[in-house]
């Protein structure tokens, strides 16, 4: 069931927020021992929030489409009284992060905190519901597992170099990285301050639009947020896409083609043909700086991750994960000249993309190079090398562009494949419109894993 469907039933009095929360808690208790999506379940407070939502809806009607809807939050966000475990060291007290506070203001019922890749200490890796031997994608891995398996209806993820979009690719769900500055990052444990993006992970495009509408907007306590007005992101859904132009950065795709899985490549080509059948135009474009943009993203990520902790190398021994410790070491050994050069790449990329968006409405790329991998398949150093290598996600953290990944099929082995749409700054509406048109035509969102 989608958020949109659940809210219609709640409005009609056919679905109780308390019963909806209880059903999700039962499913979590039945399945999460296998999937490991949740880090901390806040069952008591969730039921209290659901009861309060039910009483308010009965008295005055719903506040909006998220009122009474069960959601869960990536550990990277602070809760009141539950700081992010990923912080090193974690603070003794905390308040709700900006995006979490907006979800609560919208009446959402928060079920708990979700696992993420790279937490300090020994924590089980979240499992992919499509194949529990495989990863659900990082670092919002708990979000991917929980949404795909029906352990919550919406989730807050975070994307520094693909961490909202990777789980979407691996789990056949929707991940939306909004424009940099569209959603508050106050109370979000920083990984790379110029790359971090807060955003929704959901089952459908409509649900992503509903959550984004609730969490977007300026936060006076986060100077990076934009004062640009927040539209109703659902308003363009259902419009046709005739005449809209989809740009394909073919030069970059050709560079990555030797590393791209053949079934993902075939799925991407089929998706483009489907878009043309819906009336869109497909045009090849060239964005030269994309060739090394992911590498620049990796340099910024590692340097900012190290600088943001300011603890020294030895402070991370024994408390950070192996992969995050490797990132700290890489950042500590990268000089100011490389950091500034990466910023020059960012400016060049943004200029080239601005020029490209004068001719096209969105860009389209595959969502990932390979289907979800086996858990434990890569060593920490191999994982870091992969993160520093060219891919389809990193360039758009560098540019700050809105980017959404959604499913486009399955491999012969039954693993999800996906593609990505990228838009102009603050034009999430066009990305959502095109993604929704494809989703409704293709129907991949109706497929669910058997767990």
CB neighbour list of residue 253: distance below 8 Å, 6 or more residues apart: 260, 365, 366
d(CA 324, CA 331) in angstroms, rounded, equals 10
d(CA 327, CA 173) in angstroms, rounded, equals 28
DSSP-derived letter for residue 389 is S
Q: What ranges in 61-198 are assigned the alpha helix state H?
A: 98-105, 141-148, 165-171
* Cβ contact 330:302 at 8 Å: yes
CB neighbour list of residue 235: distance below 8 Å, 6 or more residues apart: 429
User: If we measure between CA atoms, which residue out of 430, 421, 425 comes closest to residue 247?
Assistant: 421
d(CA 419, CA 409) in angstroms, rounded, equals 10
Q: Which residues are catalytic?
A: 74, 139, 163
d(CA 142, CA 157) in angstroms, rounded, equals 9
DSSP-derived letter for residue 64 is S
User: If we measure between CA atoms, which residue out of 66, 131, 124 comes closest to residue 100?
Assistant: 66
| Vertex 67 angle, CA 62 and 69, to 5° | 145
Hey, what are 163's tokens? 């961490």
The bridge status of strand 174-177 relative to strand 197-202 is antiparallel
How many residues belong to the chain?
451
User: If we measure between CA atoms, which residue out of 88, 89, 316, 75 comes closest to residue 187?
Assistant: 75
């Amino acid at each position: 069931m989608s958020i949109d469907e659940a809210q219609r039933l709640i409005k009609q009095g056919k679905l109780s927020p308390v019963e909806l929360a209880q059903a999700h808690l039962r499913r979590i208790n039945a399945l999460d021992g296998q999937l490991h999506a949740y880090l901390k379940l806040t069952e008591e407070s969730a039921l209290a929030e659901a009861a309060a939502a039910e009483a308010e809806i009965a008295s005055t009607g719903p506040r909006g489409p998220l009122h009474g809807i069960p959601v869960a939050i990536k550990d990277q966000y602070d809760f009141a009284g539950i700081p992010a475990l990923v912080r090193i060291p974690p603070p003794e007290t905390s308040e709700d992060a900006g995006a979490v506070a907006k979800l609560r203001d919208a009446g959402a019922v928060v079920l708990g905190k979700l696992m993420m890749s790279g937490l300090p200490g020994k924590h089980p890796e979240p499992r992919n519901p499509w194949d529990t031997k495989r990863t659900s994608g990082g670092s919002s891995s708990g979000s991917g597992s929980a949404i795909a398996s029906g352990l919550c209806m919406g989730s807050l993820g975070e994307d520094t170099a693909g961490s909202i979009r990777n789980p979407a690719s691996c789990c056949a769900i929707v991940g939306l990285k909004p424009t940099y500055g569209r959603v508050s990052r106050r109370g979000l444990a920083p990984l790379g301050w110029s790359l971090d993006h807060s955003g929704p992970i959901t089952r459908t495009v409509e649900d992503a639009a509903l959550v984004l509408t609730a969490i977007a907007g300026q936060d006076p306590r986060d100077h990076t947020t934009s004062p640009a007005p927040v539209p109703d992101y659902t308003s363009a859904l259902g419009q046709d896409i005739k005449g809209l132009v989809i740009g394909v950065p073919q030069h970059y795709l050709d560079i990555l083609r030797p590393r791209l899985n053949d079934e993902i490549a075939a799925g991407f080509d089929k998706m483009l043909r489907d878009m043309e059948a819906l009336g869109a135009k497909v045009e090849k474009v060239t964005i030269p700086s994309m060739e090394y943009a992911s590498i620049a993203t990796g340099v910024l990520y590692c340097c900012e991750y190290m600088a943001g902790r300011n603890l020294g190398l030895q402070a991370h021994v024994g408390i950070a994960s192996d992969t995050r410790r490797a990132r700290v070491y890489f950042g500590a050994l990268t000089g100011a000249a490389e950091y500034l050069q990466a910023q020059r790449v960012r400016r060049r990329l943004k200029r080239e993309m601005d020029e490209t968006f004068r001719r096209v409405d969105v860009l389209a790329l595959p969502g990932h190079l390979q289907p979800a991998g086996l858990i434990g398949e890569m060593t920490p150093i191999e994982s870091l090398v992969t993160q520093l290598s060219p891919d389809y996600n990193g360039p758009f953290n560098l540019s700050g562009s809105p980017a959404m990944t959604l499913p486009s099929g399955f491999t012969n082995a039954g693993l999800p494949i996906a593609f990505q749409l990228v838009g102009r700054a603050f034009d999430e509406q066009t990305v959502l419109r095109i993604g929704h048109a494809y989703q409704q035509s293709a129907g991949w969102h109706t497929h669910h894993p058997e767990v």
